[in-house]
Structure formats: C-alpha cells, structure tokens
Amino acid sequence: MKRPELVCPAGTPAALRTAVEAGADAVYCGFQNATNARNFPGLNFTPDEMQASVAHAHAGGTKVLLAVNTFPTAGRFDLWRDAVDMGARFGVDAFIVADIGVAEYVKRTHPNIRLHLSVQAAASSPEAIRYYAREFGVKRVVLPRILTVPEIKQLAREIPCEIETFIFGNHGLMVEGRCSLTNYVTGLSTNMDGVCSPAADVHYDKQPDGSVTTRLADFTIDSFAPDEQAGYPTICKGRYHAPNRPDAYYAFEEPISLNLSGLLPALIEAGVDAFKIEGRQRSRAYVKSAVSAFRKAVDAILAGQQPELADLLALTEGQKQTEGAFKTKKWR
Amino acid sequence: MQCLTLGPIIYHWKPEERRDFYARIADEAPVGTVYLGEVICSKRTPFLEPDYPEIIERLERGGKRVVLSSLSEVVLKRERDMLAAICETEGHEVEVNNTAGLLDIGGRPHRIGPLMNIYNDETMRYLAGRGATHFSLPVELPAAVVGAMAAAGQGLGVGVEVQVFGRASLAVSARCYHARAHGRTKDNCLFVCEQDPDGMPLKTVTGQPFLTINGIQTLSHSYVSLNAEIEAMQGMGVSHFRLLPQRVDMVAVAEIFADRLGARIDAAEADARLAALSMPAPFSNGFWHGQQGRRQFGPRPD
Amino acid sequence: MIYVNSAAAGGVLRDLMRDSTHNDPNHRAGLTRFLPPLPLFVLQPLLGRIVRRVARDNPSLFNRLGPHRAARFVIDPLGLPFGLLLVPNPDALVFCAFDRRSEPASDARIGGRFLDLMGLLDGGADGDALFFSRDLDVSGNTEAVVCLRNALDDVEGSIAESVAGMFGPPGRAALSGLRRMAARAASRKGDHA
C-alpha cells in the first residue's frame, strides 16, 4: 500500500512548528501579501520567518510547499515573481500555483523545483490536468472537491501526475479560482487579493430581541435566534430567500466541514498520493488536533489496523461534517 | 457595428424562444459577432443543438460572424467529449471556457472566453503563442488592468473584449443551485431552470435583492452597464464590446451601444434610452471602478 | 509604583477563580450594584507587568498586528466584576482593568466566560471553535479581532503559562486550578450538548 503524504496547513510560524511536531509530512504556507489565497490580517510569513521556518521544517523531516496560488493582475506580476524567487532561495520543496503566467515563470526560472497545481486552477478533468502537466511539468494536482471516490480512481488512471485531495476542513463549493462573490460585495477580490468574505467588512448586528444578523458590507448574510449557533458571514454559507423558498434556506451550502476520515482507505486505494488538511486561518490548537488525528489514522491504515477516528466535530464549522461529493453524486 | 458582440445565452430558454431571438438578432441587431453555444449546463444541449445549423445560417445571412462557445465546467465524460467535438469543429472559431479545451487545440486559432482566468499579460502572451487570437476578459477586472491587457493585446495582435452589458457571472460550481432550491440534485433536476429565463432571484433574509441563480452559475442581481465608460475603453484599445443576452429587448440594447461606439450619442442619452427599456434590475459598474461590483459610479451615483 | 509580591498575586488570582464561578447574571448585576468601587488599583500594576512581559518575549506579535496595534480592545470576561482594556501599541502599551460601570471607548469588544478567554491564551483552545459555538461574542472592528487572534496564535507555548510563571508557585498553582475548572466546565457542557 502506497504511503500517502499528509499535507498540513501552516498559517503562522508557530502553527508550522506545531504541524511538524504533530507529524506532518509536508506543510503549506504563504507570504504576507496577495500572492496566496489566505491573505488574512495577521496571518502568514515574513521573508525572515519563511526562511527560518523552511529550515525548521526540513530539520524535522517535513517538506514545505509555498502557496503562490492567486492570480496576479497586469502590472503586479513582480510581487508573484519575487515570492517565487524568495521561495526558491529559501529552499521550498514545491510551489502551489494556479495562474498560467506564474506556472510558466516557475518552469522557466526554477525548473528543478516541483510545481503543484492549486485547487484554484479548478482542473477537474483529465484533459485539463494533462494540459498543465504537459505545458508546465506539473507534478501534482490538488483536486477540486467535486469528484466521487470512483471518479477519482478513474481519473488517476488517465493522468501522469500525483493526486492530492482535501480530507478535512472548511468546505469550498464554488469552483475555486472563479469566484467573484466577495468582490461584488466588498470590492476586494478572492482571485486577485486572496481574500474571502474579509473580516474588515464583517458586522454582527445585535437586534433588540437578542437575535443577531450577520452582514458583509451592505448585505445581510444570515440571521440567528438568541440560542442559535452563529457563524462567520461567508457569502456562500448564508441563508437566503428564493421565489419558491419563503423561509430562508442555505442556498449554496450549510456551514459545514469536510471530514473524510471514514474514506481514507478508499482514497488510498483509488490512487490518491497526498491528503490535504484545510485550515491556514485556523489556530495552532486546530492544527495540533487535526494533524495528530490524521497522522494516527494514516499510520494505522498503513499498518493494516482499523483507524481510530478522533471526534473532530468540535473543530468543524457549524459543528457539522460531511463527506461531500466524495461519497455521492447526489451532492451535486 | 463590427466591434459589438453578442455573448452566448447563458439561461435555459425554450428552443422556439431561442430561434425567434436569433432570427431577430440576425435581421435587426447591429452586432458584428454572435457567440453561440451552451456554457453552463451540458444537460441542456440536446434541446439546443438541433437548431444550431439553422440559427448559424440565419445569423451569417444577416452578416454576423458566428463563434461557437463552450462549457465552463467540464467534469463528466460526456462533457469532455462535447468539448472535444466543439474544439475540432471546422469552419467556425471556437471560444474556450475551460482549460480542458486547450489540450488538443493544437495551435489552431481559438478564442479565450471570460470564464478563463486571464488576469495578466504574461498569461495572455503564453496563450497567444499557442493559437489564442482573442481574449474576453473576466468581468471583475478594474479599469487599470483592462488598460494594461488591452495594450498588451494590441502588441500581440489579438482581440481584447470586455462585457459592457448584462449580469456579471460571479461564480460557477459543480453543484446545481437551481435544482437545490427545488429540493433536487443536478442529476434529477427536471430542468427547473427553464422556469427562470432571466435567472432565479436570491434575496437576503432582510429582503435585499442580492444574487441571481442560473443552474450551477451565480450571477449579480444588477446588470453591468459600462455605457459611460465606452470612450475610455476605446481609448485604451479594447477591440470588442460584449452584450450578454438578458430577457429584455436586446436589439434595442444593441442599437444603443452601437450608437455609443459610433459616437452618435453620448452617455446621458444612452442612459435615457436604456431607462426607457424598463430593465428588471439596477445597473452597476463597480468592478470597472475597482470597487464593490454591485455599485454604480458616475453621473448617476447610487 | 506599587510593589506586588507573589503572595498578593496569588491571592488576587484565587479571588478571580472564585468570582468567575458566579455566572448567574442576576447575581452579577446584584454584585455590581452593591459593591463599593472595586480596588482595581491592585490589579493595574499586575496587568501592566503581564503585558510588558508578553511584549518583551514576543516582539514579532506587534509586526503581525500591523495597523491594529493601535486598536483599543475591550475584553469582557463574563462572570467577573470588571472589564479589561488592551491597546497593544508597543510605544504605549495599555492593559488595565476598568469598573463595568464606566466602560471606555473601544474599536472592538470580545466577550466570553473568563475560562474560555483564558483558554485562548493557554494555546489549548481553538478560537474558531469557541467562535462558532458563540461562546465568544465579538463586536466592532472584526478585522482587528481576527488580526489579534492570529497574532496571539503565533506565540509559541502558552501565554497563560508564562504569565502564571511570573508569579512563582502561587501563580502556577492558580493556573492549574483554572485549567481544572475549565476542564470540568467543558465536560459539563459536553453532557448537556
């Protein structure tokens, strides 16, 4: 049985150290600017921190994957070039890229550093994946979270590169890299600035009856009764009215987390090479719990034992979890 | 007006409605290019394809160039096969909306659609070097970026097209939100999207009109209108201007924008004529101004 | 400058532990109504020492805060008769207690049970988990709060532990006591979930 790589989020240097200690095979992280898709306030690495963190990870036997996975706009390309060059200087093990121009730059200037295709490139067919593999030498694709396990198994047979799938964390349902919802509402772009439903535009408005409405800029995203669990006002996790839905409903998705701990053996058997835990914006405590749990689970599976699946529910958004598209086509 | 184009119909209109629509466009609309094809949902195509030869012939007789557009989401085997077939079509240019279409295009001339992520001239140059002759830019690009891309396009000798009318595509997904609203999934949708020929409105819990659902696609509530920005775009070197079909008098819309492009009327007069068409949604140009996409800037501030 | 020794600090922390068990809002309101002005002057130098120590040990914290280091954060520990004001400005650090009857102006408010707030600083609790369950109540400049949370999360080890260590054995004992209380409260909550 092939040993899948456990790829873990590192939003801060402390989280990176935590992930390494908890048994991550690889960590993924980004610089403090728009070059990566988790450009949140107070998160990510300065150049010095990145350099020290790469050294620390390598000393612990962990690889570092640098996320450069947003789309530079004309006139700003230098920021992405600098990020790539710095990452190369610091010795990162791979770049996670979505933009064709950035992929081309990596291939041309750092041909010896692995190129991984970000989920932001939304490559969901063998044709799309083979295109990136052929044109840029992509060695691994992070699959969009929209395929069933049998579909992944079939796809694995038709592509020349490795497969990485998400197994835990925040569930992204819009085709990644093609979502302008945040820009429509706030003026900051997910694809260009690396932000999604940014905190700066979040408002929690307490109503006189004790309920709370959550707002992103001018739009109400959801409303909660005094005893209801509230959530962060991510646009695609809100509740809305449709003509045939007079009661507000989750038009896109409920605030729910992906948890594929029950599908790990099936995913390994389908040919998945790496498991990705989502959550660079989450805390060290989350990283420690999630990474430790999946480290134990993967090791158990490889040893031919039943994995003991820790209850990760408390770490999930909305305290609910799903196996999403991986389990069934009915998710679509 | 050669530089004015009509984008593909993104909603699920009945076949007879499409035939009538394109007949009118062929005879009366002052557009140079018409994009034809299903971009959003592969399940719709069996209803539409039988009419294509007749529609193409009608449009070309009316002096319009026809470009075949293609799917933005390509996952299932039949979708991959569909896309491959379109890309192999002889006799008409193809607009690619998914990277899968680029694999076997083999250097043949093709267009890059607005749902592909072309944000910088490095990407444009790369694709132009492999046969792309024309780029329709993502709707969220601000003016400065459009200017840089238009300049790059001129240098490369490729067309650069900007959407000037119609709802902004904000997201696509593998999941069908139309089906979901009716308690179904994409596989058993019963084509419920046909009920909403201008898209299904989504409001917030406080009653604000917010978004529009069209199958797997989420669009703005507002109609983009870059009427006031026409001169600026022409000055930048934008070569083509796209009208996305909405459920309004698109011939009248085309005439207004053609008059703008021909400098026969100014923005204020165009605004007045657009207002007289009773649009079901407000206008917005926020993306162009680098602000919230939903907002409207200019002579008529919101 | 008022001299604060470990014994006094231990005593204050013991009082904090006792007060934080009084979660009944009526009880709290009654407390505030009838209490004489709180002897907050005992707390202020303690808090000052704490924030200066944390700042000294973690200079990168302020870089991470960026523009939000000048933000005024009010921390509202439900169950305690006072609130806390934090201004993480390295040039003018403020960390002090205020009487609930006169809350200062702020850019952001973070409310929660004392044990939950302490859990955030102990590195063991997950801020998002508390947030999602609405055990933490955030209002005002949400971006500043997110930034503060991310900055604090980058601190290696446990702030609570290093702070408790400042006060010697009584401090560490108080922290152990608080951790035990937090664990009991968490398991009780789990029973009712």
Is A314 within 8 Å of C126 (Cβ atoms)? yes
CA distance C37 to chain A (A): 30
In chain A, which residues have their Cβ closer than 8 Å to the Cβ of B83? 127
User: Which of A231, A284, A314 has the CB atom closest to C123's CB atom?
Assistant: A284
Residue C60 contacts residue C150 (beta carbons within 8 Å):
no
> Hey, are the CB atoms on C155 and A283 less than 8 Å from each other?
no
Task: Tell me the count of A-C CB pairs closer than 8 A.
Answer: 95
Helix axis angle, C168-192 relative to C114-121, nearest 10°? Answer: 120
**Residue of C136, C148, C150 to mutate, interface with A, max A Cβ within 10 Å:** C150
Whether the pLDDT of residue B134 is over 60: the answer is yes
Shortest Cα–Cα distance, A118 to chain C (Å): 24
User: Distance between CA C55 and CA B86 in Å, rounded?
Assistant: 63
Whether residue B140 and residue A180 make contact (CB cut-off 8 A), yes or no, is yes
CA distance C149 to chain A (A): 8
Q: Chain A: which residues have CB within 8 Å of chain C?
A: 11-15, 17, 40-43, 46, 49, 198-200, 202-204, 206, 224, 228-232, 255, 281-286, 289, 314-315, 317-319
Residue recorded with tokens 């596989």: B187
User: Looking at the predicted structure, is the pLDDT value of residue C3 above 50?
Assistant: no
Tokens 């919802």 correspond to what residue? A181
* Stronger pLDDT, A121 or A312, i.e. the higher one: A121
Pick the residue from chain C with its C-alpha nearest to A40: C147
CB pairs under 8 A between A and B: 218
Nearest CA in chain B to A180: B170
Determine the pLDDT at residue C2. 33
Domain layout of chain B by residue ranges: 4-169+221-284
Nearest to A43 among C124, C150, C156 (CB): C150
CATH number belonging to domain B4-169+221-284: 3.20.20.60
pLDDT reported for residue C150: 87
Determine the average pLDDT of the residues in A70-89: 97
Inspect the interface and report whether the beta carbons of A14 and C153 lie closer than 8 Å: yes
Mean pLDDT rounded to a whole number for chain B: 95
Say whether B180 and A251 touch across the interface (CB within 8 A). Answer: yes
Which domains, and CATH codes, for chain C? 6-192 (3.30.1050.10)
Q: Which residues of A touch C145 (CB under 8 A)?
A: 199
Q: What is the pLDDT of residues C98-133, one digit of tens each?
A: 988 889 999 999 888 877 787 777 766 666 665 555
Q: What is the mean pLDDT of residues B46-59?
A: 94
User: Using CA atoms, how far apart are residues B22 and B291, in angstroms rounded to an integer?
Assistant: 35
pLDDT surpasses 80 at C17: no
What is the pLDDT confidence band of residue C175, given thresholds at 50, 70 and 90? confident
Residues whose CB is less than 8 angstroms from the CB of residue A206 and which lie 6 or more positions away in sequence, other chains included: A212, C139
pLDDT per residue over B139-184, tens digit each? 999 999 999 999 999 999 999 999 999 999 999 988 899 999 999 9
Residue A157, helix vs strand vs coil: helix
How close is the nearest chain C Cα to the Cα of A200, in Å?
5
Backbone torsions φ then ψ of C83, nearest 5 degrees: -115, 175
Nearest CA in chain A to B99: A128
Which contacts qualify for B256-261: CB closer than 8 Å, 24 or more apart? B256/B227, B257/B1, B257/B4, B257/B164, B257/B165, B257/B227, B257/B230, B258/B1, B258/B4, B258/B30, B258/B31, B260/B227, B260/B230, B261/B1, B261/B3, B261/B4, B261/B230, B261/B234
- Closest-CA distance of chain C to residue A104, Å: 32
Q: Please tell me the predicted confidence (pLDDT) of residue B283.
A: 97
Of B100, B104, B213, nearest to A125 by CB-CB distance is B100
Listed range (B38-47, B191-200, C165-174) with the worst mean pLDDT: C165-174
Contact A14, C155 (CB under 8 A): yes
What radius of gyration do chain B's Cα atoms show? 18
B and C interact (at least 3 Cβ pairs within 8 A): no
Give all domains of chain A, ordered by start, each with its CATH number: 5-173+255-331 (3.20.20.70), 181-250 (no CATH)
Which pLDDT tens digit goes with each residue over B229-238?
Answer: 999 999 999 9
